[in-house]
Amino acid sequence: MAALRDIQNKIAAVKKTRQITRAMNMVAAARLRQVQERTERFRPYAAKFSEVLGSLSEGIDQEAHPLLAQPEQVSRVALILITADRGLCGSFNMNLILQAQKFMTQQKSEGREVAFYAVGRKGMEFFARRKVEFAQKLPGVMNVVDFDLATQVARLGLNAFLSGEVQEVYLLYSRFRSIVSQIPTVEKLLPISPEATGDEDESSQEYLTEPSAEEILVDLLPRYLNVRVYSGLLETSTSENAARMAAMDNATKNCKDLIQNLTLAFNKARQAAITTELMDIVGGAEALKAG
């Protein structure tokens, strides 16, 4: 009988777990929609921005601006790693972390130091346990991804770059390709490479400018960084929720399988118990008759 009770308890427990994973799945789905909406609303801004930047940077001496100037020698680079704040989203965070490790090993093998910036708790915790030094860490910020956060992150990179602490700044984020596929991606933020600004513009509009084109560019390029970081943050957040949705969907399915197996075992055990009892009764009756 004890075995029967055990199985029953276990079934109840798995059912509760299933309830939770199902709820988390739905929460992730809702958040995914929210972030996607945000991305959608950001798109016109980003598109217009690249368009203007593209037509503006034509015919301008690329070396003129410090953010465009390619360094002669690189001895130290900055890596900004974006991860989620929370787990339970499959291998999402781990994929990003592994990519970060790979990047760091590679840079070190080329004799460069890496200044490490962690955005999001998971990545921070991982590297803190391994005693990696942070240039800056921002845990607990991925809950609300807004433009202010992007500005804040971009400024970290910008300051390190402009002060000469680092000669290159990279952003590691998760590119959202589809609900089932999110790819850790490393992108060079600074110096801004000319091909990134030279977005193929169809009209190539000639503008009057105020102040001069160079001066506008000075104003525009740091903002461009914000745009890049923001889209990185949005993509990561989208990926995170998609990954969590998939993970929780899997978990719910596993719960279902588990419940099925346990119910089967329970029924078998019950049947066995009934059979034993019957045999006892029949045995007893036979004994009485014989006596």
Partner 1 sequence: MANKILLEVVTPDKLLLSKEVDVVVATGVDGEFGVLHGHVPFLASLAIGEMRFKDGNDTDYAAIAGGFAEVTGEKVTILAEAAELAREIDIDRAQRARERAQQRVEKARAEELDYARAEAAMQRAMMRLKVAGRSGGMAA
For residue 255, indicate whether it is catalytic: no
3-state secondary structure of 184: strand
Q: Please report, as residue ranges, which positions from 48 to 67 form the binding site for partner 1 (by CB under 8 A).
A: 48-49, 52, 56
139: region left, alpha or beta (phi > 0 left; psi from -120 to 50 alpha):
beta
What's the min distance (Å) between Cβ of 234 and partner 1? 10
* Dihedral Cα 129, 132, 135, 138, nearest 10 deg: -20
- Three-state secondary-structure class, residue 253: helix
Q: Which of 70, 209, 267, 276 binds partner 1 (CB under 8 A)?
A: 209
Q: Tell whether residue 27 is a contact of partner 1 (CB under 8 A).
A: no
- For residues 21 and 255, what is the distance between their CA atoms, to the nearest angstrom? 9
C-alpha R_g of the chain: 29
Output the smallest distance, CB 208 to partner 1, in A: 5
Whichever of 212 and 267 has its CB closer to partner 1, that residue is: 212
Give strand pairing partners of 175: 183
253 scored as a contact of partner 1 (CB under 8 A)? no
CB of 150 to partner 1, least distance (A): 8
Q: Is 45 one of the binding residues for partner 1 (CB under 8 A)?
A: yes
| Minimum distance of partner 1 from residue 219's CB (angstroms) | 5
> Which of residues 163, 210, 288, 289 is near partner 1 by CB under 8 A?
210
In the bound state with partner 1, the residue whose beta carbon lies nearer, of 44 and 59, is 44
Position 106 contacts partner 1 (CB under 8 A)? no
Which one from 11, 78, 79, 89 is the annotated catalytic residue? 89
| Site membership for partner 1, residue 219 (CB under 8 A) | yes
Token pair in block for residue 147: 């433009």
Interacting residue with partner 1 among 63, 165, 214, 215 (CB under 8 A): 215
Do the Cβ atoms of 234 and 35 come closer than 8 Å? yes
Token pair of 82 as six digits: 């974006």
> Binding of partner 1 at residue 227 (CB under 8 A)?
yes
What is d(CA 140, CA 123) in angstroms, rounded to the nearest whole number?
Answer: 11
Q: How far is the CB of 237 from partner 1 (least distance, A)?
A: 14
Q: What residue ranges in 45-105 does DSSP mark as E strands? A: 76-82
Burial 209-228 (b: 16+ CB within 10 A, else e): eeeebeebbeebbeebbbbb
**Structural contact between residues 210 and 276, judged by C-beta atoms closer than 8 angstroms:** no
190 is a site residue for partner 1 (CB under 8 A):
no
Q: Is 135 in the site for partner 1 (CB under 8 A)?
A: no
- Tell me how crowded residue 192 is: count the other CB atoms within 10 A of its CB: 23
Q: Which of 38, 121, 122, 228 binds partner 1 (CB under 8 A)?
A: 38
Tell me if 151 contacts partner 1 by CB under 8 A.
Answer: yes
Q: Which two tokens stand for residue 230?
A: 């923001």
Q: Does 223 bind partner 1 (CB under 8 A)?
A: yes
Distance in angstroms (rounded) separating the CA atoms of residues 107 and 214: 34
Number of chain residues interacting with partner 1 (CB under 8 A): 30
How far is the CA of 224 from the CAs of 77, 215, 253, in angstroms? Answer: 20, 14, 44
Residues that bind partner 1 (CB under 8 A): 38, 41-42, 44-46, 48-49, 52, 56, 146-147, 150-151, 205-211, 213, 215-216, 219-220, 223, 226-227, 230
Known catalytic residues are 89
